Structure 1
Amino acid sequence: MGNSHSTPEGASEENWHVFNFEKRLGFSDYDASEVELAMLRNMKNSLITEFSYRNIESSLKLRYKETFRQLVFEKFQAEDGAIDGIKLATLGLLLSRGSEREKMTAIWNIFDEAGKGELDRKQFGVMITTLFLASLGPTIEVSVNQDFTSNALSKWVEKLDRKIPDSVKEILDFFLDQNPSLSISAFLTKLFEGPRGDLSNTFVIRRQLERDEFDEL
């Protein structure tokens, strides 16, 4: 099939890659098949087997960074160390088949450990940082020209990595303004109805890619 494509009119090759990346990013490609199977197998006792757990863990690891994966399993771990399969399956189904609003609500609930429907600035910062790190992999895969040498790619990743704290602060300021905490309703309203659009459009990463001077590498 090759790598041929038609660049949208007026778009540079680099911006085409960003455009293509934005179409692919999000959680629509999350593979929840193992989560669904685990739910069906364990409907009676609501706890998944160790075998199912390993399969689900592998699926998560392929799609998300380590931090996100750990948060998911810590969130649904019972006192005896077992995993609540029903809750985990629900999360998997929402991430794979839900609307964008449902997906972001599911992710919010991972970080809202108290279940209050509200995150303080620190908690929300952890959530945004985790999502940001999880998106770097596909960003690099789709947006970087394959002719980059390993050394050049490493330098570019380092540059992106250094920008994360400032980008996270920018997002925090946008959503919280001067408020100490953020409700899920306010988050979803700004996320989908605000001027920037939702996070799956990666407004932060877009700016990072546009600002980077690749010739410096």
Structure 2
Amino acid sequence: MRIVLVGPPGAGKGTQAAYLAKNLGIPHISTGDLFRANISQGTPLGVEAQSYMKAGQLVPDSVTIGMAEDRMRQADAEGGFLLDGFPRNVAQAEALDAFLKADGIELDAVLDLEVPEDEVVKRIAGRRICRNDSSHVFHVSYNAPKTEGVCDACGGELYQRDDDNEETVRHRLAVYHTETEPIIDYYRAQNLVETISALGKVDEVTAKAMAALKK
């Protein structure tokens, strides 16, 4: 299967992508991983992307598209893939369509993870990270530490990342609504969109996603 996963920040796309890709036996291709791999390997696209990032500029669509196309050409993606974070706008969606059409293949589905905006803010703004180990993550409402501000695992100080504050989260949501959300209508016109609620436990959301894909 060839799937695009869409949803606002805080919808749990990364978590769901990992579970779905494993269940379906296809690679999970995330934009973040693409950038990290290309930059760490010093590929021409990675070098170009890093030059924009160091200058504080947005990386052009052409660079992101190039990275995604290179990854989709790899052997493990021949039988399908799950795209997470790409396409991010309609121009990238059109480029993806052109790339797939050139190979005589097409998308099977676009999964739209739906979460109310206030829930997104609550999920992200409530996160607390351990200063000693960033893999230790807590939440003031959903996974509170035994002692406020203290990591259960190592006793380190818990803090809120700068980009997890409510003002920043609402700005990220505004960018999502303006730039990314239009691809849902773009794909809906192709009868590819399956919208599911991303509320509930991780396994419950995964089950809903798998049921939608079986359609």
With a CA cutoff of 8 Å and minimum separation of 6, indicate the structure with the bigger relative contact order.
2
Give the TM-score category using the shorter length. under 0.3
Q: Give the helix-richer structure, 1 or 2.
A: 1
Higher strand content, 1 or 2: 2
Q: Given the two structures, how large is their TM-score scaled by the length of structure 2?
A: 0.27
